[in-house]
Chain A
């Protein structure tokens, strides 16, 4: 079976890709991911706030303790060599590139186009094959208009594309008034791929302590429907690479996503639950399913269930919804 696929111009040996998660903080894990058959690895995210906060915190500590008293002009050994979080990140890219052959996609998580875009260049220079930018923005300000939110996304893409030559994927959320049009505009701003979708951090309450609960839960397989819908809708309509993320617990979800039109499907929670070696199982299961169905390669079934290809494209639109509702009666 030929599992090869192409994702934003990158040749991958498998459509199963490790999504941005803390497992990739260790280069040893990245090597294991390659060994287990990952098509590529999206590194853990470097957060805009983290970068800015760390810088500000470091500056604040050093400056607030310098030149305070006659006896101590400062309190820390000279920190010229102090590398910020980004330097560590770059080091991981470099090391990963030394140790593995699969593409390494760096990940930036930010909400503005200020002060952190230059890290993309550094990531490119460190050897990243691609860049995924996760625009994790909750427009909580009620005065913020729809178009302002949309331009925020487009500006970031614009700046990134002006900064780097490597392909750029945008990981985004589905909450746009016109998701399809938004995807098209992103492609027009030269985004190379869309990653559908990121999951917002959604707080819960502790009703006894009257506090917020900060627990992040792994995605479940039943969460794939929203990305599945939009991949199926966008496939073939917007000329852009599509990556599916959320809910990939086994090869079943991978298959579904590819059927909808995804070039790749990403997972992290399956690896947290079952270990990195589980990638091997997922690839094997994908292969045996393809064998059963007689698909020799990924392209043979990619997008075959998309809106373009299925016999009743309206099934993806409102009419299908009504059918579903009626079937519940």
Chain B
């Protein structure tokens, strides 16, 4: 059993750091950003539960509108004497920079805890490196870097102790994901230990420096050339002292805990000649590798940098062995154009200074290299390659390790097969789905083993980038000593596949050791299963002499009443097979854990879980492995042969998990990628897909309209096309009269379906006898993929219906418009994507999209495959994501270009009229472009224009040729969620609306930060609970619509496609047609609302029926025509708010946690609904002159 005197926990780095930060602060002002969000969420949760800091007070946690806002609040709180902190990463830290200079310039004690993350450059990345911290290194903050979960915990305290003593503010950082999300076993600090590191005298001193009207002074003056410079130099001595202060704190910490840290921590041979200097979790990998290399007699060493700023020459020199001949400084960042990365430059200049000062006798050979950007793996093999490079007389400088740079040849080669001795560890890899509970079960396993046995445990979890059907890989290590291995498992003792179809999609057994154990969740029994495996998998099992076990987890889960959840069953198998613990002890531990978790829910629930454990053991079978492979089946091809070369060469590599192997030459140089690549990724994530019943169908188009993944499409065509229709291709006579030869087909792209059920829910046509049987029903997917492919291929070859002949004003007509947004990775049943799809159908061929960071930028633009696509003519949405906070401004810039170049084109047209012909020029310039037929006519004119321009040998003609496509009206849409529109981007959005420019803003309003895990925004409604509003939101939701209405010249609409699709279409078309700014607030149901999304449309309808989400349009065009521009599109509320709200967990939760508060808030919320309805209704009855005139 673990040492009883120590507090042991198995937690991740975020929790480890937040645990201390919460206890030594009074105020936390934060804003959620991956991967740091958890720290803030925990602080909020602890505060809500009344957990106290070391002074017996409950810290106050406040979520702000942006990191810029959080930093400002932190600054204010600090200036008035509160111990204040924040948690952030990446772009968040960038937004804090201005305040950080102020805080440091004013010598203010604080610690910012950073889960270090990449910065958005050629692409955004949520993963870890030091780019953010390095970008903030000039602020004057000290920088203390943790390399492990234990250090994240310990350094949070050391940083706090040091900042209060030194008055220098600290950034305490650790590697995003690798440390922030790694679960590891650690010793927790007791409150007494924490308290003894933070003596009251420093707290009092901090308070004493605060602004106080009883002892007034001013701080924050504006200074002139005469004194500013000297003022900057006043702080030097504080920086000079800081390294000593941190060192003292480390010594004090060592006395308290026995854990010893150094500012620069050297490990290795006393006579080392080759030394790596590194900071962050990579230091753990280098240290462990050094231990192995020195044991083998190599003269190597490593300096782990803990305190990077201020960079102490004295301490650094002391840490280096005198024998060192060559040094490699590894930076986890990139500074393009610099002569080297920042830490390399620091080491170089420090050593040169030391030489000049006579503190060293000679300058070693010093090179710098980059590693691990965006959580790129950094392994012992790579470390060894760096040491090997240092053996050379002229080691490569400015190198990279971990990639293949075949363009500028910076990369070092390394031998992947080099590994450290892993014999003490039991390593397991688990392949699961995001929705099947695999990760949760593995986190639970780590807790069980880590907290109930002497073993050490480590867990790290890798997700793919999809939100539906996401694949997860859990990496678990157990061993007798602390596990310092911040890299993925490459040779596992145990591999579990939680889904059978992974055997033909994922090369799992590449990662298993010979003699390892392979567990497969299989619907086939032990006699049948072998022949169902692809030949390559069989071969791997045979050649590696694997022990092969199966369990039919789905059946066991069903039979034991586990609601289809297989996680406990697979977890039990792991305990039984892995050998981490003796089998009987393992089963005892798992039962003990079940008892602990479920006792509150009653004995029967505990017994049910016990039964599942017993049934699992009874159904776990070893498969006798034949001597030879029997199957000729192959792994499924990643993409079809008909895919473009880029997709085959690059995209497919990423899709199959081999993206790490792609060399630099294969990458886009500027972040540009081809449109429409999701079509090549047939994910087949749902076994249940819709099946169309042509005889029952009334061809209304509702199913196609609501499908979030553009999986249901319709065309009408002459029956003659059916001559070559493949087997099973369905069609029906079109139900419009007078077209006897016209057929209609509703095609389901079954391989892309996520099984959300929305299509069935919305279908209005039922069998008259069996009412539950509709014109579209979920059914088992056709088992023959070839049959599906042939049908879809035939459907794709049918011509899309002429846009000029489709009635754009109806849902019925919309189904015939080609979606140019398809098969995204959004959640099954997503409430946002139907709007985006509609946008692409209505205006896709001339659409420019500025997309704020968030869910829509992730399912819209996360590699490997992206859903924005193009039509047969090669036209389609041009999409880009700049940042989270600047999207309105970004989109406004797009409009500025379009307008400017259009004006330029008009000017040039006039100038070139003699050569082009007056008639053509006039026609182009006067062309109406509201109807599809008008757009088509203009496109034809532009083609003609281009032809003519090619024959005019004048600079003006060349200029016109380069901008003439702007003569077809560009539809500029600014798309994003409520986090952007209501909070972080609100200032920009407001300014863009006020600009009067022809932009269209689509706010996908889920009423929380959906992408980062459901944090409250200013759109979160009263009475709902969300993170940072766990006690229920008291304040009202901002009425962004009315704010925009107040401008007078902004088209505004509130829409909800589930309640009134017709109004949705109308609003989007009116917004686009309006020659000025438009704002559409689109109610978007979301998994963060807490109910089965198959009911998403019903809930949208309830939102409208309760008056919570009144449908309205404000059209300035009507105001100009002296008509009332305010149109209320929904009827008076028919149901009370609670009837809508209490079907969702976000509202329901408060009725359970605090029923009295819930009732009060619901009453308040109902009052707000009543009042808004009353106001809207009044506005709808006014006259034009009651509204702001259109400027």
| CB–CB B1011/A65 < 8 A | no
Given known A-B contacts A63-B565, A67-B434, A118-B602, A73 and B1153 have beta carbons under 8 A apart: no
> Quick check: is A175 within 8 A (CB to CB) of the other chain?
no
| CB–CB B34/A70 < 8 A | yes
| CB–CB A65/B45 < 8 A | no
> Quick check: is B1088 within 8 A (CB to CB) of the other chain?
yes
Cβ contacts under 8 Å, A70 to chain B: 34-35, 126, 177, 181, 462-463, 465
Given known A-B contacts A75-B1088, A91-B1155, A115 and B604 have beta carbons under 8 A apart: yes
| CB–CB A69/B771 < 8 A | no
Would you give the 0/1 interface string for B1054-1098, flagging 1 where the beta carbon is closer than 8 Å to chain A?
Answer: 000000000000000000000000000000000110111000000
Cβ contacts under 8 Å, B38 to chain A: 73
> Quick check: is B435 within 8 A (CB to CB) of the other chain?
yes
Q: Given the complex of chains A and B, what is the CA–CA distance between A211 and B770 in angstroms?
A: 10
Given known A-B contacts A56-B563, A70-B177, A77 and B1149 have beta carbons under 8 A apart: yes
Cβ contacts under 8 Å, A72 to chain B: 1010-1014
| CB–CB B48/A77 < 8 A | yes
| CB–CB B1145/A68 < 8 A | no
Cβ contacts under 8 Å, A76 to chain B: 1014, 1025-1027, 1088, 1090, 1145-1146, 1149
> Quick check: is B517 within 8 A (CB to CB) of the other chain?
no
Nearest chain-A residue to B1146 (Cβ)?
A76
| CB–CB A67/B563 < 8 A | no
Give min CB distance, A156 to chain B, whole Å. 13
| CB–CB B563/A59 < 8 A | yes
Stretch from B231-239, B437-445, B883-891, B1128-1136 contacting the other chain: B437-445
Give min CB distance, A273 to chain B, whole Å. 23
Nearest chain-B residue to A70 (Cβ)?
B463
Q: Which residues 343-400 in B have Cβ within 8 Å of A in the complex?
A: none
Give min CB distance, A205 to chain B, whole Å. 12
> Quick check: is A114 within 8 A (CB to CB) of the other chain?
yes
Cβ contacts under 8 Å, A117 to chain B: 604
| CB–CB A78/B1013 < 8 A | no
Given known A-B contacts A72-B1013, A82-B1153, A77 and B45 have beta carbons under 8 A apart: yes
Would you give the 0/1 interface string for B1014-1028, flagging 1 where the beta carbon is closer than 8 Å to chain A?
Answer: 100000000001110
| CB–CB A63/B440 < 8 A | yes
Nearest chain-B residue to A83 (Cβ)?
B1152
Would you give the 0/1 interface string for A80-115, flagging 1 where the beta carbon is closer than 8 Å to chain B?
Answer: 111110011001000000000000000000000011
| CB–CB A75/B1090 < 8 A | yes
| CB–CB A88/B1030 < 8 A | no
Q: Report which of B462, B858, B1092, B1153 forms a contact with A81, defined as CB distance below 8 A.
A: B1153
Cβ contacts under 8 Å, B1013 to chain A: 71-75
Would you give the 0/1 interface string for B989-1029, flagging 1 where the beta carbon is closer than 8 Å to chain A?
Answer: 00000000000000000000011111000000000011101
> Quick check: is B605 within 8 A (CB to CB) of the other chain?
yes
Q: Report which of A59, A64, A116 forms a contact with B602, defined as CB distance below 8 A.
A: A116
| CB–CB B1153/A118 < 8 A | no
Q: Given the complex of chains A and B, what is the CA–CA distance between A61 and B1091 in angstroms?
A: 6
| CB–CB B1014/A75 < 8 A | yes
> Quick check: is B472 within 8 A (CB to CB) of the other chain?
yes
Q: Given the complex of chains A and B, what is the CA–CA distance between A66 and B435 in angstroms?
A: 8
> Quick check: is B601 within 8 A (CB to CB) of the other chain?
yes
| CB–CB A115/B463 < 8 A | no
SS class, residues of chain B in contact with chain A: mixed
Q: Given the complex of chains A and B, what is the CA–CA distance between A317 and B551 in angstroms?
A: 62
> Quick check: is A55 within 8 A (CB to CB) of the other chain?
yes
| CB–CB B771/A210 < 8 A | yes
> Quick check: is B692 within 8 A (CB to CB) of the other chain?
no
Cβ contacts under 8 Å, B563 to chain A: 56, 59-60
Q: Which residues 423-470 in B have Cβ within 8 Å of A in the complex?
A: 434-435, 437-440, 443, 461-463, 465, 467, 470
Would you give the 0/1 interface string for B599-611, flagging 1 where the beta carbon is closer than 8 Å to chain A?
Answer: 0011111001000
Q: Given the complex of chains A and B, what is the CA–CA distance between A84 and B1155 in angstroms?
A: 11
Q: Given the complex of chains A and B, what is the CA–CA distance between A117 and B603 in angstroms?
A: 10
Nearest chain-B residue to A88 (Cβ)?
B1155
Nearest chain-B residue to A85 (Cβ)?
B1152
Nearest chain-B residue to A118 (Cβ)?
B602
> Quick check: is A58 within 8 A (CB to CB) of the other chain?
yes
> Quick check: is A79 within 8 A (CB to CB) of the other chain?
yes
Q: Given the complex of chains A and B, what is the CA–CA distance between A77 and B37 in angstroms?
A: 13
Nearest chain-A residue to B1145 (Cβ)?
A61
Q: Report which of B181, B602, B1012, B1090 forms a contact with A61, defined as CB distance below 8 A.
A: B1090
Give min CB distance, B702 to chain A, whole Å. 20
Cβ contacts under 8 Å, B48 to chain A: 77
| CB–CB B467/A77 < 8 A | no
Q: Report which of A59, A62, A65, A71 forms a contact with B1012, defined as CB distance below 8 A.
A: A71
| CB–CB A67/B1145 < 8 A | no
| CB–CB B1146/A69 < 8 A | no
Q: Given the complex of chains A and B, what is the CA–CA distance between A87 and B807 in angstroms?
A: 55
Q: Given the complex of chains A and B, what is the CA–CA distance between A70 and B563 in angstroms?
A: 25
Given known A-B contacts A71-B1013, A73-B1013, A76-B1149, A65 and B1030 have beta carbons under 8 A apart: no
Given known A-B contacts A69-B467, A76-B1149, A88-B1155, A63 and B437 have beta carbons under 8 A apart: yes
| CB–CB B470/A69 < 8 A | yes
Q: Given the complex of chains A and B, what is the CA–CA distance between A60 and B1145 in angstroms?
A: 11
Q: Given the complex of chains A and B, what is the CA–CA distance between A81 and B1145 in angstroms?
A: 14
Among B603, B771, B1152, which residue has the most Cβ atoms of chain A within 10 A?
A: B1152
Give min CB distance, B126 to chain A, whole Å. 6
Give min CB distance, A237 to chain B, whole Å. 36
| CB–CB B605/A115 < 8 A | yes
Cβ contacts under 8 Å, B177 to chain A: 70
| CB–CB B126/A71 < 8 A | yes
Q: Given the complex of chains A and B, what is the CA–CA distance between A61 and B435 in angstroms?
A: 11
Q: Given the complex of chains A and B, what is the CA–CA distance between A192 and B843 in angstroms?
A: 73
Would you give the 0/1 interface string for B516-556, flagging 1 where the beta carbon is closer than 8 Å to chain A?
Answer: 00000000000000000000000000000000000000000
Cβ contacts under 8 Å, B49 to chain A: 80-81
Would you give the 0/1 interface string for A102-141, flagging 1 where the beta carbon is closer than 8 Å to chain B?
Answer: 0000000000001111110000000000000000000000
Cβ contacts under 8 Å, B461 to chain A: 67
Give min CB distance, B287 to chain A, whole Å. 27
Nearest chain-A residue to B461 (Cβ)?
A67
Nearest chain-B residue to A75 (Cβ)?
B1014
Q: Report which of B34, B44, B602 forms a contact with A71, defined as CB distance below 8 A.
A: B34
Would you give the 0/1 interface string for B1148-1163, flagging 1 where the beta carbon is closer than 8 Å to chain A?
Answer: 0101110100000000
Give min CB distance, A89 to chain B, whole Å. 11
Cβ contacts under 8 Å, A211 to chain B: 771
Q: Given the complex of chains A and B, what is the CA–CA distance between A312 and B605 in angstroms?
A: 54
Q: Given the complex of chains A and B, what is the CA–CA distance between A68 and B1146 in angstroms?
A: 18
| CB–CB A71/B771 < 8 A | no
| CB–CB A77/B1025 < 8 A | yes
Cβ contacts under 8 Å, A83 to chain B: 1152-1153
Q: Given the complex of chains A and B, what is the CA–CA distance between A117 and B1090 in angstroms?
A: 28
Q: Report which of B443, B604, B1027, B1153 forms a contact with A114, defined as CB distance below 8 A.
A: B604
Give min CB distance, B445 to chain A, whole Å. 13
Q: Given the complex of chains A and B, what is the CA–CA distance between A71 and B49 in angstroms?
A: 24
Q: Given the complex of chains A and B, what is the CA–CA distance between A12 and B1151 in angstroms?
A: 33
Q: Given the complex of chains A and B, what is the CA–CA distance between A59 and B561 in angstroms?
A: 13
Q: Given the complex of chains A and B, what is the CA–CA distance between A68 and B1149 in angstroms?
A: 21
Nearest chain-A residue to B567 (Cβ)?
A63
Cβ contacts under 8 Å, B45 to chain A: 77-78
Given A78-B45, A78-B1030, A83-B1152, 8 more pairs with CB closer than 8 A: A68-B435, A71-B1012, A76-B1090, A77-B1027, A77-B1029, A82-B1152, A88-B1151, A88-B1152
**A-B pairs with beta carbons under 8 Å apart, 25 shown:** A60-B563, A61-B1090, A66-B437, A68-B434, A68-B463, A69-B470, A70-B35, A70-B126, A70-B181, A70-B462, A70-B463, A72-B1010, A74-B1014, A75-B1013, A76-B1025, A76-B1088, A76-B1145, A77-B41, A77-B45, A81-B1153, A82-B1149, A82-B1153, A88-B1152, A116-B602, A118-B604
The 8 A-B pairs at the shortest CB distance, nearest first, are namely A72-B1013, A77-B1030, A115-B604, A67-B439, A68-B434, A75-B1014, A70-B463, A71-B34
A interface, CB within 8 angstroms of B: 55-56, 58-84, 87-88, 91, 114-119, 210-211
